[in-house]
Every structure is written in structure tokens, then in C-alpha cells.
Amino acid sequence: MKRLNISPRASALAGIIGPVVFVTVYTVFGLATPGYSPLTQVISNLELAPYGWIQQLNFLLCGTLI
């Protein structure tokens, strides 16, 4: 099996960018979704919104970067 050569700097940058992008996307998407309240609903409820694929993509992107 071949190992990927990923620099520590690239790994650290991905680990920093992942959560920042995640929080930014779910905050903007949560504010744009009528009836969604982050105080009473979990983030996963955004997947049930009409454009729920945005939150699914957000989960995948964050998981990949971290």
C-alpha cells in the first residue's frame, strides 16, 4: 500500500480550516432557514430543510478536512 506524503503544515491548515468553514456554513444556513432555532434544535435538523444537501456537504467537508 502506498502512503500519501502530506506535509505537517498542510495537515495543520486543514485541521484549522475545517471547523471554521463548518461553523460559518451552519451559522449562515441556520440564519437563512425559516423556523430553525439553534437554541432548541440540533445542527442535523438543517438537513431536513429544503436545501438540506448544503448541511450534508458541510458535514462531509468538515469530516474530510479534520
Domain ranges of the chain: 12-65
Cα 57-63-66 angle, rounded to 5 deg? 135
Closest CA to 35 of 22, 23, 46: 46
What does the block give as the cell for 38? 439553534
Q: How confident is the model at residue 66 (pLDDT cuts 50, 70, 90)?
A: confident
Q: What is the pTM of this model?
A: 0.79
- For residues 30 and 58, the answer to whether their CB atoms sit within 8 Å is no
Q: What is the mean pLDDT of residues 4-29?
A: 89
Taking only the tens place, the pLDDT of each residue in 20-38 is: 999 999 999 999 999 999 8
